[in-house]
Structure 1
Amino acid sequence: MKRIFILSLVAIFLLNCKNESQLNADFNPAFVHSVYIWLKDPGSAEDRAAFELSMQTFMNNSLYAKTKFLGTPPKATREIVDDSYTYNLIVTFTSAEDQDKYQKEEAHLRFIEESEHLWEKVLIYDAIGLEED
Structure 2
Amino acid sequence: MAKAGPILILEDDHDDREIYGQIMASLGVKNEIKFFEGGDDLLRYLQVTPDRPFIILSDINVPRMSGIELMRQIDADEFLRKKSIPFVFLTTVESKEVVDEAYELAIQGYFVKKDLLEDIEKQVRQILDYWRDCKHPNA
Fold similarity call, TM over 0.5: no
Q: TM-score range by the shorter chain?
A: under 0.3
More relative contact order, 1 or 2 (CA 8 Å, 6+ apart): 1
TM-score by length of 1: 0.27
TM-score by length of 2: 0.26
More strand by share: 1
Q: Rg bigger for which structure?
A: 1
